[in-house]
Structure 1
């Protein structure tokens, strides 16, 4: 995976799907399969980090909404 700071989650997922198709086809030489596998692991890590960030943002939004509701009740 090219370490591009401007990759989006969607771009990374698309590339990951592409790699999976290539590996499942079983037509790549062993060395290239290993390279693709390594790239896929980097993509999985990137996607996991993006999902973790999104989850944290959702939790923060929920917390902020809950705090706002409590303030309104007081």
Structure 2
């Protein structure tokens, strides 16, 4: 479970989309554009990390659900 300090995927994605819109507007000077691009890259990495974690959790849950109950009981004995 994530802590309250960790932003949600949706929040990070929304911030990333906002930065992309600002970059695409063409109104930024070069320095601002480079700084926003750098921050956007970090946000994209953060989104990917969140997605990777979610995929791992889903894979584990699916694997546990696919394990027959009799097999799980036999290994516990």
TM-score range, shorter chain: 0.7 to 0.9
Q: Which protein is bigger by CA-based radius of gyration?
A: 2
TM-score (norm 2): 0.81
* Residue correspondences, number: 68
Instruction: Structure 1 unaligned segments of length 5 or more: list them.
Output: none
Gaps of 5+ in 2: none
2:43 & 2:53 partners in 1: Cα distance? 15
Q: What residue number does 1:71 align with?
A: 69
Structure-1 separation of matches of 2:7 and 2:69: 39
Q: Which protein, 1 or 2, shows the higher relative CO under an 8 Å CA cutoff with sep ≥ 6?
A: 1
Q: Give structure 1 regions of 4+ aligned residues with deviation exceeding 2 angstroms.
A: 71-74
Would you say 1:48 and 2:48 are equivalent positions? yes
What's the TM-score, normalizing by structure 1? 0.84
What corresponds to 2:27 in structure 1?
27
For residues 3-22 of structure 1, the aligned pairs below 5 Å read 5-22=5-22
| Deviations, residues 47-70 of structure 1 (Å, cap 9, x unaligned) | 000000000000001001001xx2
Looking at structure 1, the residues matched to 25 and 41 of structure 2 have their Cα atoms a distance apart, in angstroms, of 18
